[in-house]
Amino acid sequence: MLIRKRRGWEIPESQVTPEHVFLNRRQILKAAGFGAAGILASRGIGPARADEETIPTADLYPAARNDAYTVERAITDKDINFTYNNFYEFGSHKRIYRDAQDLEIRPWTVEIAGMVDNPKTWDIDDLVRTMGVEERVYRHRCVEAWSMVAPWAGFPLAKLVAAAGPKPDAKYVVFKTFMDPDTARGQRQSWYPWPYIEAMTVAEAMNEMPFLVTGVYGQPLVKQMGAPIRLALPWKYGFKSIKSIVSIEFTDTRPKTFWEEIQPAEYGFWANVNPEVDHPRWSQATEEVLGTDGRVPTQLFNGYGEQVAHLYKDMDQSARSLWM
């Protein structure tokens, strides 16, 4: 029998539906029969693990905290953030942390390409040392209506944009994740449009908030959270914060992003957090803060309106596409 290859829009509902809708973190932990700390200890995965590969810039962590970026919520327990992840390259569920350890993060390069005055392929450690690192505590709001708080270390994307020197006609910045189906088994699932791609406007990229993350919890970034370099865009839904970046390209054409390609009505290009605009399949009014009991109200732009709302002031605020 001929087995037809599935197209993105033919994905069975169970595969596009975030797992969280069916199972929350506590249920998963209970089902596993032991807590996150126990898993970490028994598998030897955790803080020490990132150091097994030689990381020439490990001396930069912990980085000095930039007090301009703190939050009123408690920082999420490290064991939770190390064991509850979305990283579809390693599987479409939350427990990818073991498999993600197979990713080789040295040597690693990040290519700056497209409509810029200074195209360049950076060695990751040259890049990090040149840009320098600071710590910023950001909220993170997943589109699945859970959230966490992480002490990221890294540098503002704006700094890299300045070094790249975008041409006047460049309008978008496109980020790409590695492609390696031998290591990342999720990438053998051919109905997904690999590699993972995300994008924003150049104007957004020059804002103070977008943060290129290379460390977390005072150490080099762990693989399951997107080592060696990922984005943190705290006013947008989490899927915009792309992990394990290998290229950053400037262009005049808006690309179709990974999730937009799969399900444009649910995961759009802008994806700014707005508690009043529900996801087609669930409410965005509240969120489960990982590591706490109960839900809290979600904030417009996830609480970062002061920093970013002006970017969208000339757009139609009633357009659903601004918030999806």
Q: What residues line the site for ligand MTE (CB under 6 A)?
A: 85-89, 142, 177, 196, 225-226, 238-239, 241-244
Q: Which residue is nearest to ligand MTE (CB)?
A: 238
We find the least distance from the C-beta atom of residue 148 to Mo ion, in angstroms, to be: 10
Q: Is 253 within any annotated ligand binding site?
A: no
Q: Which amino acid is at 1?
A: M
> Can you spell out the DSSP letters for 126-193?
HHHHHH--EEEEEEEE-TTSEEEEEEEEEEEHHHHHHHH-B-TT--EEEEEE---TTT-GGGG-TTS-
CA quadruple 44, 54, 176, 131: dihedral, nearest 10 = 120
Please select the residue that binds Mo ion; options are 238, 268, 291, 303, rule is CB under 5 A: 238
Virtual torsion, Cα 74, 155, 233, 192, nearest 10 deg: -120
User: Which does residue 89 bind out of Mo ion, ligand MTE, none, counting CB within 5 to 8 angstroms by kind?
Assistant: ligand MTE
**CB-based contact 288:147 (threshold 8 Å):** yes
In the complex, minimum distance from the CB of residue 297 to ligand MTE, in angstroms, rounded to a whole number: 19
Query: Is residue 142 close enough to count as binding Mo ion by CB under 5 A?
Result: yes
243 annotated ligand-binding residue: yes
Q: Is 230 annotated for ligand binding?
A: yes
**Is 249 labelled as part of a ligand binding site?**
no
Instruction: Please say which residue, 145 or 173, places its beta carbon nearer to Mo ion.
Output: 145
Q: Is 89 annotated as a binding residue?
A: yes
Shortest Å distance, C-beta 143 to ligand MTE: 7
- Which is nearest to 32 in space by CA: 83, 78, 67? 83
Single-letter amino acid code for the residue at 52: E
Is residue 138 classed exposed, middle or buried when 0-12, 13-18 and 19+ CB atoms within 10 A define those classes?
Answer: buried
Determine the Cα angle at 97 with ends 235 and 246, to 5°.
Answer: 60
CB of 138 to ligand MTE, least distance (A): 11
- Smallest separation (angstroms) from ligand MTE to the CB of 81: 6
Q: Quick one: what does residue 139 bind among Mo ion, ligand MTE, none, with the CB cut-off 5 to 8 Å set by partner type?
A: none
Residue 142 assigned to a binding site = yes
**Peptide bond before 228: cis, by omega within 30 degrees of 0?**
yes
Residues comprising the binding site for Mo-molybdopterin? 85, 88-89, 142, 177, 230, 241-243
Residues comprising the binding site? 85, 88-89, 142, 177, 230, 241-243
